[in-house]
């Protein structure tokens, strides 16, 4: 078999091979740039004697003049060899280069067949072996028939023409992307401070534990527990950022390699997924802008397909897509003619910039004005549909032909598919082809579990596999449009790189947002997460999947292992050893059957004539129907690594087959949602799905182009933001209480790195920080009301420890800002909302998750909307009633009451009481400053705070204060006799 440890040549894609000493051939000893011996000798003959990557001169080597290299590939156990002769000629044509690549691929597949045959001989499956051998015999006969004409055709091409068609070696070998590590001047001090902070934390806790506060022992113990949890959370968050990296892509090199003039375009096809549910909550105009930006993307039109999932089966969504498809005939050619950015019309026309910049075509102004008028008319039509849809007719909606809309009952309707644009559909106004646009609404019936967004995404995976089967999938939320028309090319620089992309399951882009106020009061941009944490993860095993703006390798979604890794039993839960062996055996058998079917289908694709009945029986025999479902066309498509619809599929039956794969019972007794596609079991299916892939050994890549690839809309008012954070936290709790918890899942394969596991653990345990956080934020008020404190009188050593801890926290943050480029304001906003979300949404998520997962009680904290003001950020000042507002409001009121009480006691206590008051007041103001954005948002504009929020908060704060004063556990109890004696002594 071909050794997987040998790197691939960056020029021809074949393995580098070994030198005379049996070691891996290395051309450049400076950067180890992978290039095989043949390509190296070609470079020397062309007088290119420096490394193409680092520019270091090659060492002088002796070249043996051989006309042919014989490559022998072991095919089976009977010592049968195929001799493949590759002519070593400086004027090799591109067709010969591609043929040599095909030969290498064929050799790898033949070796796979060899392994399968040996396994089957041991297991006694002689029938299966005979079938494969018969296919091989037919395959050889067909190849002999085709070989003679092919040789004559190649011989007829004159050498001069071959020379003209040869692609420059420099363009072919140029890298598609490079990794840019952080400079040592930035990363070395950062790591040093992290280690120093860890040491200081150890000394700090030693001091805290060995110096209890006897007069306030319960308060001291509570603070110690909280501080230990905060330190544990810091470790989980900090160490995955140990090796942050940047990446740079070269789109020009991608075009030079795969878009050669006069040859077929070799860029890989991409299927776009857009998901929407309720058009009244997710405006059709926003979804339409997302679709239009996809259709106008800078990519070959025959390589782009856009699938829109309407999980609410709304006729409004369908009709808006009809209008969108018609408007796209004008919009797409306009975008490509003038290279405008962004290519979502709503956001393009609303830009407050000079739209004439870099536009030198005389007709641009005239055509832009006409296009803007057409878009306004299009908006009027769509908004008219939305207004009409506000009230549903009693008899339900009716289509234009008079038939009832099949989705009138959104919970009980058949599957629906409509192809609007495509290779055989309408063309644009200039007569050019448009990308394919497909409307999909999966079947829904009562009694079936539909799994919300994850189920809708899996339905799109199957539909797209049947209709187009692009090797890569890009999924977007309906409110995330393509802001950079070259975003797909950015991702292809990684996924189509034979050296980088083999083990990449997805390329994740950062989320960027429009319509957020400059101060970003509620940290909607999540800048710290996307620009700091994700860069750190990119240096380990890759960023986590965040649900949108992600380009997937379709093979990774099908549950396959990376090509460079052998098939091993899938990861299982180590907490149940009695089931582990059984699960490992079944997983191993499933992987073995998958390899057998892959080899068989490959041989079938090489034949012109084969028995359709025999193929169907084979697929059923190999039990793939139990894995992927009852669809022969879909199963065969899963084995086509380079995509494309199977040749055996009947084009006239594809739509019928697509309807079949989105039926509500298709996933019954299969591995969909368990091992394949988007994983079920959590409302944050994105984190769970990415985690499963990386447990199999896949890695992901973080791509941050200078122009943001995608932009979306974020909830900017306080209530909606808290509700969003609640949903994310609830999903983390669901994963924590499931079998996929990173604390115990995925150890058997050993493919998930420890720092990567630490990052995933952090994503599921962070909601539990709300419990110590709300206790810690209550401590200042308690200390001020009782006159006690959690820290004893500080000694010199203790003062140094506290000062060192504060300085290490500040320096760590400053150094993070230095290598990430994040502003200090973004860091402070993130810190503030960490407290705001922790004491509200995260707290509710913990209790809601425990009730749901342990007791089966599903509670919802709904948000009631009010009318927004007519201003640019009118929604920012909108206050919506939700129970999430009560805990942080109570904390603010309690701490303010504590500050007032503390100053009152200091005024009555004299000069000596002002010293201890400083630490308590500083602690209280730390809480108030962190909750200040919440307080500002709660007051809204013109103090329009819901009365019920104020009443609840004041009531809770008053009850808390009164009970604490009445039942104070820190006040020494004095019996009545002592009081009487004291009174007598002072003659009262």
Contact 644, 469 (CB under 8 A): yes
pLDDT the model gives residue 170: 56
Contact 470, 271 (CB under 8 A): yes
pLDDT the model gives residue 236: 93
Among 322, 320, 317, 315, residue whose Cα is nearest residue 392: 315
Q: Which of 261-270, 563-572, 722-731 has the lowest mean pLDDT?
A: 563-572
Q: How many CB atoms lie within 10 A of CB 724?
A: 17
Catalytic residue among 479, 686, 720, 826: 686
The C-alpha atoms of residue 952 and residue 949 are separated, in whole angstroms, by 5
Q: What are the pLDDT digits (tens) for 908-931?
A: 766 666 666 777 888 888 888 888
Domains of the chain, earliest start first:
1-59 (3.30.40.10)
How does DSSP assign 729-796, residue by residue?
A: HHHHHHHHTSTT-TTTBSTTT--S-HHHHHHHHHHHHGGGGHHHHHHHHHHHHHHHHHS--SS----H
The two tokens of residue 981 are 């004696």
pLDDT the model gives residue 950: 59
Binding-site sequence positions for UDP-alpha-D-glucose: 275, 281-282, 311, 452
Q: Assess whether pLDDT exceeds 50 at residue 203.
A: yes
How does DSSP assign 509-570, residue by residue?
A: PPPEEES--TT-TT-TT-HHIIIIIHHHHHTTT-PPP-SSSEEEEHHHHTTPPPTTS---PP
The C-alpha atoms of residue 284 and residue 316 are separated, in whole angstroms, by 8
The C-alpha atoms of residue 882 and residue 859 are separated, in whole angstroms, by 13
Catalytic residue among 271, 310, 311, 826: 311
The C-alpha atoms of residue 166 and residue 159 are separated, in whole angstroms, by 11
Residue whose tokens read 């008899």 = 395
* 418-to-308, 330, 332, 401 alpha-carbon distances in Å: 10, 21, 20, 15
pLDDT band at residue 108, thresholds of 50, 70 and 90?
A: very low
Q: What are the pLDDT digits (tens) for 268-298?
A: 999 999 999 888 888 899 999 999 999 999 9
The C-alpha atoms of residue 293 and residue 95 are separated, in whole angstroms, by 36
Q: What are the pLDDT digits (tens) for 369-426?
A: 999 999 999 999 999 999 988 888 888 888 888 888 888 888 888 999 998 887 666 7
Contact 726, 566 (CB under 8 A): no
pLDDT the model gives residue 171: 55
Instruction: Encode burial over 89-109: b for 16+ CB neighbours within 10 A, e otherwise.
Output: eeebbeebbeebeebbeebee
Catalytic residue flag (residue 858): no
Q: Assess whether pLDDT exceeds 70 at residue 890.
A: yes
Contact 276, 311 (CB under 8 A): yes
Binding-site sequence positions: 275, 281-282, 311, 452-453, 477
Higher pLDDT, 877 or 317: 317
Beta bridge partners of 652: none
The C-alpha atoms of residue 312 and residue 411 are separated, in whole angstroms, by 8
Q: Which of 374-383, 442-451, 711-720, 753-762 has the lowest mean pLDDT?
A: 711-720
How does DSSP assign 863-901, residue by residue?
A: ----PPPSSTTGGGG-----GGGHHHHHHHHHHHHHHHH
Question: What would the mean pLDDT of 557-564 be, rounded to a whole number?
Answer: 85
Residue whose tokens read 């959370």 = 233
Q: Assess whether pLDDT exceeds 90 at residue 195.
A: yes
**pTM for this one?**
0.75
Q: Which of 115-119, 305-309, 346-350, 843-847 has the lowest mean pLDDT?
A: 115-119
Binding-site sequence positions for Mn(2+): 453, 477
Counting DSSP H helices and E strands in the chain, the numbers are 34, 15
Q: Assess whether pLDDT exceeds 50 at residue 113.
A: no
**Percentage above 90 pLDDT, the chain:** 32
Q: Which of 46-55, 636-645, 849-858 has the lowest mean pLDDT?
A: 46-55
Q: How many CA atoms lie within 13 A of 7 on its CB side?
A: 18
H or E segment to which residue 153 belongs: helix 126-155
Residue whose tokens read 């004696």 = 981
pLDDT the model gives residue 875: 61
Higher pLDDT, 62 or 359: 359
pLDDT band at residue 620, thresholds of 50, 70 and 90?
A: low
Q: Which of 173-182, 638-647, 755-764, 828-837 has the lowest mean pLDDT?
A: 638-647
Q: Assess whether pLDDT exceeds 80 at residue 33.
A: no
Report helix angle 251-258 to 487-495, nearest 10. Answer: 70
Q: Assess whether pLDDT exceeds 50 at residue 605.
A: no
Quote the distance between the C-alpha of residue 485 and its chain's center. Answer: 20
pLDDT band at residue 859, thresholds of 50, 70 and 90?
A: low
* 968-to-212, 688, 788, 813 alpha-carbon distances in Å: 19, 46, 11, 39
Among 388, 410, 406, residue whose Cα is nearest residue 398: 406
* Beta pairing class for 710-713 and 504-508: unpaired
To 5 degrees, how large is the angle CA 475–CA 479–CA 480? 50
Higher pLDDT, 831 or 431: 831
Q: What are the pLDDT digits (tens) for 90-107?
A: 333 333 333 333 333 332
Q: What are the pLDDT digits (tens) for 797-811?
A: 888 888 999 999 999
Question: What would the mean pLDDT of 791-796 be, rounded to a whole number?
Answer: 78
pLDDT band at residue 536, thresholds of 50, 70 and 90?
A: very high
pLDDT band at residue 67, thresholds of 50, 70 and 90?
A: very low
Could you tell me the sign of the dihedral formed by the alpha carbons of 487, 491, 496, 499, in that order? Answer: positive
Contact 367, 359 (CB under 8 A): no
Contact 938, 887 (CB under 8 A): no
Catalytic residue flag (residue 311): yes
The two tokens of residue 261 are 């003039």
């Amino acid at each position: 078999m071909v050794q997987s440890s040998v790197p691939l040549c960056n020029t021809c894609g074949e393995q580098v091979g070994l030198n005379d000493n049996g070691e891996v051939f290395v051309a450049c000893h400076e950067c180890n740039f992978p290039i095989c011996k043949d390509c190296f000798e070609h470079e020397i003959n062309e007088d290119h004697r420096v490394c193409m990557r680092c520019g270091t001169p090659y060492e002088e080597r002796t070249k043996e003049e051989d006309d042919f290299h014989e490559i022998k590939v072991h095919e089976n156990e009977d010592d049968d060899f195929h001799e493949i002769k590759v002519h070593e000629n400086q004027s090799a044509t591109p067709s010969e280069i591609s043929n040599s690549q095909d030969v290498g691929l064929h050799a790898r597949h033949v070796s796979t067949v060899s392994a399968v045959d040996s396994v089957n001989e041991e297991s006694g499956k002689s029938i299966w072996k005979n079938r494969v051998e018969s296919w091989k015999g037919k395959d050889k006969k067909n190849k002999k028939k085709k070989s003679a004409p092919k040789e004559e055709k190649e011989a007829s091409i004159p050498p001069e023409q071959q020379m003209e068609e040869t692609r420059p070696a420099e363009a072919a070998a140029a890298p598609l992307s490079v990794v840019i590590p952080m400079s040592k001047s930035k990363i070395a001090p950062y790591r040093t401070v992290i280690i120093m902070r860890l040491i200081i934390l150890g000394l700090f806790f030693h001091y805290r534990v060995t110096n209890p506060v006897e007069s306030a022992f319960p308060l001291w113990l509570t603070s110690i527990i909280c501080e230990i949890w905060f330190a544990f959370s810091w470790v989980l968050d900090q160490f995955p950022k140990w090796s942050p990296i940047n990446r740079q892509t070269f789109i020009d090199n991608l075009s030079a390699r795969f878009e050669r003039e006069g040859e077929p375009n070799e860029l890989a096809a991409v299927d776009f997924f857009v998901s929407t549910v309720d058009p009244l909550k997710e405006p059709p105009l926003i979804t339409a802008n997302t679709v239009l930006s996809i259709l106008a993307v800078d990519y070959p039109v025959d390589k782009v397909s856009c699938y829109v999932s309407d999980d609410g089966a709304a006729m409004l969504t369908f009709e808006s897509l009809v209008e969108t498809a018609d408007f796209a005939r004008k919009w797409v050619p306009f975008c490509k003619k003038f290279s405008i950015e962004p290519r979502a019309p709503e956001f393009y026309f609303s830009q407050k910039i000079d739209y004439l910049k870099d536009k030198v075509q005389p007709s641009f102004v005239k055509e832009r004005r006409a296009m803007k008028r057409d878009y306004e008319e299009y908006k009027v039509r769509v908004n008219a549909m939305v207004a009409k849809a506000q009230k549903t007719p009693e008899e339900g909606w009716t289509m234009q032909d008079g038939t009832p809309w099949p989705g009138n009952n959104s919970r009980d309707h058949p599957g629906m598919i409509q192809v609007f644009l495509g290779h055989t559909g309408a063309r644009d106004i200039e007569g050019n082809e448009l990308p394919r646009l497909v409307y999909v609404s999966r079947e829904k019936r009562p009694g079936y579990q539909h799994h919300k967004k994850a189920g809708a995404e899996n339905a799109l995976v199957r539909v797209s596999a049947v209709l187009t089967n692009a090797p890569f999938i890009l999924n977007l939320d309906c409110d995330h449009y393509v802001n950079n028309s070259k975003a797909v090319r950015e991702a292809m620089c990684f996924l189509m790189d034979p050296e980088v992309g083999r083990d990449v399951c997805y390329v994740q882009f950062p989320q960027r947002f429009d319509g957020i106020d400059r101060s970003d009061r509620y940290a909607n941009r999540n800048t710290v997460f996307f620009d700091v944490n994700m860069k750190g993860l990119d240096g380990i095993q890759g960023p986590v999947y965040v649900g949108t703006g992600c380009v997937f390798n379709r093979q990774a979604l099908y549950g396959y292992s990376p090509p460079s890794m052998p098939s091993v039993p899938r990861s299982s839960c180590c907490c149940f050893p009695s089931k582990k062996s059984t699960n490992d055996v079944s997983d191993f058998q499933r992987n073995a059957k998958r390899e057998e079917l892959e080899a068989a289908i490959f041989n079938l694709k090489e034949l012109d004539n084969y028995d359709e009945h025999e193929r169907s029986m084979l697929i059923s025999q190999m039990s793939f129907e139990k894995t992927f479902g009852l669809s022969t066309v879909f199963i065969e498509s899963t084995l086509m690594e380079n995509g494309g619809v199977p040749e055996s599929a009947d084009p006239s039956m594809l739509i019928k087959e697509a309807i079949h794969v989105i039926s509500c019972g298709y996933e019954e007794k299969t591995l969909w949602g368990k091992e394949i596609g988007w994983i079920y079991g959590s409302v944050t299916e994105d984190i769970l799905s990415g985690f499963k892939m990386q447990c199999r050994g896949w890695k992901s890549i973080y791509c941050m182009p200078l122009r943001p690839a995608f932009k979306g809309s974020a909830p900017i008012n306080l209530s909606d933001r808290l509700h969003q954070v609640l949903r994310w936290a609830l999903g983390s709790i669901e994963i924590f209480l499931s079998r996929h918890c990173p604390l115990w899942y995925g150890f058997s394969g050993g493919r998930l790195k420890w720092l990567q596991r630490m990052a995933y653990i952090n994503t599921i345990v962070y909601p539990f920080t709300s419990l110590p956080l709300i206790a810690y934020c209550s401590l200042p008020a308690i200390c001020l009301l009782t006159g006690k404190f959690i820290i004893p009188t500080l000694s010199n050593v203790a003062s140094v420890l506290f000062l060192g801890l504060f300085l290490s926290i500040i320096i760590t943050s400053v150094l993070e800002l230095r290598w990430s480029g994040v502003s200090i304001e973004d860091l402070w906003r993130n810190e503030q909302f960490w407290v705001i979300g922790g004491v509200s949404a995260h707290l509710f998520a913990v209790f809601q998750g425990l009730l749901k997962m342990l007791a089966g009680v599903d509670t919802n904290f709904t948000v009631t909307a009010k009318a927004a003001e007519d201003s640019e950020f009118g929604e920012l000042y909108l206050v919506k009633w939700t129970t999430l507002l009560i805990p942080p409001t109570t904390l603010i009121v309690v701490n303010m009451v504590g500050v007032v009480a503390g100053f009152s006691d200091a005024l009555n206590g004299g000069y000596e009481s002002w010293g201890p008051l400083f630490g308590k007041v500083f602690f209280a103001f730390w809480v108030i400053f962190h909750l200040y954005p919440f307080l500002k948002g709660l007051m809204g504009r013109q103090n329009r705070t819901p009365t019920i929020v104020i009443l609840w908060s004041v009531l809770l704060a008053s009850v808390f204060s009164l009970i604490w004063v009445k039942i104070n556990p820190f006040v020494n109890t004095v019996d009545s006799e002592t009081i009487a004696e004291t009174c007598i002594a002072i003659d009262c």
